[in-house]
Structure 1
Amino acid sequence: MSDAVQDIKYEGLNRMQKLALFLIVIGPEQAAQILQQFDEFEIEQLVREIANFRIIGDDVQRAVVDEFSEIIGTSFGAILGGTAFAQKALEMAKGDYKASSLMGRISPVSTSTEVMSELSEMDTRLIFNLIRNEQAQTLAFVMSYLSPQKASEILMMVPLETREEVIERIGTMDQTTPENVQKVIENIRRHANLKETTSMSQSGGVRAVADLLNLLDKNLSKTLLTKLTERNPTLGQSIQRKMFSFENLISLSQRDLQRVMREIDSTDLVVALKSANKPLQQALLGAVSKRAAETLMEEMDMLGPVRLKEVEAAQDRIIQNVRQLEEEGEITIEGGGDVMV
């Protein structure tokens, strides 16, 4: 595959192709939010178009920005999302009528950017004191805007009997109503003297819960997730899949593990295995040919000391490959309790 910038005539593209370029420009996280609103056939069409666009030149990127300028403004650094963002993207793909129909099923929650930004800079104890008497829904709403580390610290301050509900609320944040959001913001502003400015999209969901639980004590995390799965099996299993870690590779079937090993970079694998336990090393090396396994072991022996940060980065890249393969239907990550470690 060539690394040259593609010669793309933007004005000659159809609406689906323009939307595909738009999704590339805004990045995978924001694109995923948009793709959730399409059916499987339409998503397949978009993915095919995205695959056709490899390296996009500055002129095409500017054309995309210009066409969507009412939504994303002039700064690439702006946070993208919200009703207008989804509406425009859907209009580009489906036309005004179908977009309006789809948007009727979408009810994103917006709130104040700077209120939550200033709140996120506060000490965790102060944040908790501001919201400690609020309902679980409000606690979840505020925590969904914080970093996973800070949210996990606040969760430990929440009474044990409330934690389970807070976790579930974060995972199903789309149930929050605009009226409740406004009440939360007004209450925080009243107690903390924070100002109101422009709006932003709420940031809860399965990924937020998974990140939060990954930072908790493993026993507590497992207990919370077990109880949550009993209350909401679908949500619980979705969270477990998002929490899949490098150590969980050993839980994959031999066929899936072989598929993963064909996909990942051998350099990443050598580095990632530096901190892996023996059973995991044996499982991974057993998923490749004898000659390939011997080569990997030789490279591991030759590899000098590696910073833990580099090992974790290599493991993260491998897990990203694993998640991509699952999304493409190439492998299966079970959502059962055995995945949780």
Structure 2
Amino acid sequence: MTEQANQQGTSAPQKPQRKIPRVEQAAILLMSLGEADAAEVLKHMGPKEVQRVGVAMAQMKDVSKDDVTFVLNQFVDAVGGQTGLGVGNDDYIRAMLTQALGDDKAASLIDRILIGGNTTGLDTLKWMEPRAVGDIIRYEHPQIQAIVISYLDPDQAAEILGTLDEKVRLDVMMRVASLESIQPQALQELNDILEKQFSGGAASQTSRIGGVKRAADIMNFMDRSIEGNLMDSIKDMDPDLASTIEDLMFVFDNLKEVDDRGIQALLREVSSEVLVVALKGADDQVQEKIFKNMSKRAAELLQDDLEAKGPVKVSEVESAQKDIITIARRMAEAGEISLGGAGEEMM
């Protein structure tokens, strides 16, 4: 009887009736842990990851017992397959964080967890409201502003740039595009200014930061009007640079270059209300790409909704399209889809 129970306990988890997104799996796992343990886990996550998991928790309703069992079994199998005890192994922690966050985001987090460093001044800014960060760097030298903007996540950086004056915005973006690396001493001095202490470790290598790809990444998250004016100004100063940035940007029209599997995965994460508004301003190719990756009945319903929707403000269309692009980029960063075309290399 005991042997049978052991065999049952180590059997592979059965797949649930639906595909559970990874962020939802994380939310289910944390909610299963209890408040205290979940809080300890969240301490080791970045602001964006905490926000995404928190939203998933808030939106979670009627989670089935089968879903919970599946998620917990997957976690136990993953831990058991990495270490004899399941916890406390440096290699497992490195592999888990790298797979979850990607190489760049995981690197600094791994150092803080395994080496015991504290949050740096720059990392603290990631937890602040964009306007508050804008106020902090508003009167700093443009090069300092560019370093801060390059260091932060693109969506937050875009909002911060939106709070700065137009001329300052152009100067900072040009500097972001020209940044390639920064000496650790410069980062140390900047952290000293921001937090009166530097806890990023005794790194001896230069840190890659900024660059044309980063500039394009930030531009993707800007309001359309700000993005257009800024791009026009960059074209006036450096047409070749503007062309390169445009080539690296991923916009809504680029969805027609995403493979069918990616579109299908993306549609599972987008609400029908947002999709209808976004498609009101999409060209025929994008609409056709969406329709062909839906069931015949779902496509017919979507077309009916589009016809019944009537005129929509341009600002509403742009907002809906940006919401979908944001979801697509996050899924690409998590390895769930591949963004073809202009955004592929950047991702």
Instruction: Give the alignment's TM-score, normalised by structure 1.
Output: 0.50
Q: Which runs of 5+ in 2 are unaligned?
A: 1-19, 54-91, 102-107, 151-156, 201-208
1:178-223 CA-to-partner distances (Å, cap 9, x unmatched) read 465389x7xxxxxxxxxx9878999x85767632475255466689
Q: Take 1:208 and 1:152, find their aligned partners in 2: how far apart are those partners? A: 17
User: Is 2:288 aligned against 1:282?
Assistant: yes
Q: Aligned partner of 2:43: which letter?
A: F
Contact 2:278 2:321 in 1 (8 A): yes
CA distance in 2, matches of 1:320, 1:298: 26
What SS is found at the alignment partner of 1:275? coil
State how far apart, in whole Å, the 2-side matches of 1:176 and 1:131 are.
17
Alpha-carbon separation, structure 2, partners of 1:244 and 1:225? 19
Match of 1:42 in 2: 96
Asked whether the equivalents of residues 338 and 344 of structure 2 are also in contact (C-alpha less than 8 Å), the reply is no
Name 1:210's counterpart in structure 2. 217
**Counterpart secondary structure, 1:177:** helix
Query: 1 CA distance for matches of 2:274 and 2:133?
Result: 38
Answer yes or no: is the 8 Å Cα contact 2:255–2:286 preserved in 1: yes
1:153 corresponds in structure 2 to 166
Secondary structure in structure 1 of the residue aligned to 2:43: helix
CA distance in 2, matches of 1:312, 1:303: 16
Q: Match for 1:181 among 190, 204, 228?
A: 190
What whole-Å deviation, never above 9, does each CA across 1:81-113 have from its counterpart, x for those lacking one?
A: xxxx969961xxxxxxx324xx5xx99565999
Equivalent in 265, 269, 274 of residue 263 of structure 1:
269
Q: How big is the shift at 1:40? A: 5.6
Alignment CA distance shift 1:317-1:172 (3 Å): farther
Q: Is the Cα contact below 8 Å between 1:111 and 1:182 reproduced in 2?
A: no
Following the alignment from structure 2 to structure 1, what is the Cα–Cα distance between the partners of residues 296 and 335?
28
Superposed counterparts of 1:1-341, under 5 Å: 6=31, 8-9=33-34, 13=37, 19-22=40-43, 26-28=47-49, 41-43=95-97, 90=113, 98-100=114-116, 103=117, 108=120, 120=134, 131=141, 137-138=143-144, 140-141=146-147, 147-150=160-163, 153-154=166-167, 158=171, 164-169=174-179, 172=181, 177-178=186-187, 181=190, 210-212=217-219, 214=222, 215-217=227-229, 218=231, 227=241, 240=248, 243-334=249-340, 336=342
Query: How many positions carry a matched residue from both structures?
Result: 253
Q: Which amino acid aligns with 1:147?
A: I
Supply the distance in 2 between the matched residues of 1:207 and 1:262 (Cα, whole angstroms): 28
One-letter amino acid matched to 1:42:
M
Q: For 1:179 and 1:22, how far apart are their aligned partners in 2? A: 23
Residue 291 to residue 155, structure 1, CA distance change in 2 (3 Å): same
Q: Is the CA contact (8 Å cut-off) linking 1:110 and 1:201 kept in structure 2?
A: no
Asked whether the 8 Å contact 2:275–2:320 carries over to 1, the reply is yes
State the Cα distance separating 1:285 from its structure 2 match: 1.7
Structure 1: which 5+ residue stretches go unaligned? Answer: 33-37, 48-84, 91-97, 186-195, 231-235
CA distance in 2, matches of 1:179, 1:314: 40
Q: Output one character per residue of 1:131-150: Cα deviation in whole Å (capped at 9) or x when no partner.
A: 47xxxx44623766882235
How far apart in 2 are the matches of 1:117 and 1:292? 41
Aligned-pair CA distance for 1:301: 0.9
Aligned counterparts of 2:328 and 2:33: Cα–Cα separation in 1: 31
Q: When the two structures are superposed, what TM-score results if normalisation uses the length of structure 2?
A: 0.49
1:80 matched residue in structure 2:
none
The percentage of aligned residue pairs carrying the same residue is: 23
